[in-house]
Chain A
Amino acid sequence: MSASLELGRGVEWIHECYSEPTGHLHVSVYLVRAPGGDILVDSGSFYHRDSLHSRIESATDGRGPRALILSHSDYPHSGNIPTFREEWGDFEIVASVASPEIQGLPYARRARIGESLDVLGRRFTFLDPPLADRSHTTWIYDEEGKTLFVADGFGTIHPPGHCDSWWGDLPLEGRTEGVLEFHDQTLRWLIYVDPDRLMTALRDIFARHPAEVVAPIHGPPIARADLEAYLDDLESGVRTIVSTHAAMTTEEE
Chain B
Amino acid sequence: MDWTESPRVRNLSRMKTHREIFPGIHWIQECGPNRQGIADAVVATGAEWCPAGVALHVPQNAYLLTGERTLLFDTLSPAAGEIVLAGLESVLGDRPLDFVAISHTDVPHAANVSRILRRYPACQLVAPAAGETHPLYHLADATLVGPGDEIDLGGLRVTFPEATFLDAALHTWMTEETTRSLFTVDWLGFPHMEGECLQCVDELPGEIDVSRLEAFHSRVMFWFQYVDVDTVRRATDALARRYAGYSLLPSHGLPIREDPERYYELMNEVVANVAASGRTGVL
Contact = CB atoms under 8 A, between A and B. Distances in A.
Given A45-B136, A47-B136, A198-B226, A99 B32 contact: yes
A134 B221 contact: no
A18 B169 contact: no
Given A45-B136, A135-B167, A198-B226, A246 B283 contact: no
Interface in A127-185: 128, 130, 132-136, 185
Contacts of A187: 169
Interface residues of A, number: 45
A102 interface: yes
Contact of B282 (A18, A78, A102, A136): A136
A113 B60 CA distance: 23
Contact of A185 (B107, B131, B167, B281): B131
A75 B227 contact: no
Contacts of A134: 106, 167-168
A208 interface: no
Nearest to B218: A135
A103 interface: yes
Given A104-B77, A185-B131, A96 B282 contact: yes
B49 to A, nearest CB: 21
A251 interface: no
B35 to A, nearest CB: 8
A157 to B, nearest CB: 9
B18 interface: no
A125 B194 CA distance: 35
B219 A193 contact: no
A193 B228 contact: yes
Contact of B171 (A188, A193, A194): A188
Given A76-B133, A101-B33, A134-B168, A192 B77 contact: no
A46 interface: yes
Given A102-B77, A104-B107, A193-B227, A188 B222 contact: no
A184 to B, nearest CB: 9
A18 B130 CA distance: 17
B135 A130 contact: no
B201 interface: no
B105 A74 contact: yes
Nearest to B110: A75
Given A76-B136, A103-B107, A130 B77 contact: no
A102 B107 contact: yes
Nearest to A27: B136
B136 to A, nearest CB: 5
22 contacts: A25-B132, A45-B136, A73-B107, A75-B137, A75-B138, A101-B77, A101-B78, A101-B79, A102-B77, A103-B107, A133-B169, A134-B167, A135-B220, A135-B282, A186-B169, A189-B166, A189-B167, A192-B223, A193-B228, A194-B226, A197-B226, A242-B231
Interface of A: 18, 20, 25, 27, 45-47, 73-76, 78, 96-99, 101-104, 106, 113, 128, 130, 132-136, 185-189, 191-194, 197-198, 201, 242, 245-246, 249
Given A75-B107, A188-B171, 15 more contacts: A75-B138, A96-B282, A101-B33, A101-B77, A103-B78, A104-B78, A104-B79, A104-B111, A132-B223, A133-B169, A134-B106, A185-B132, A192-B231, A192-B232, A249-B234
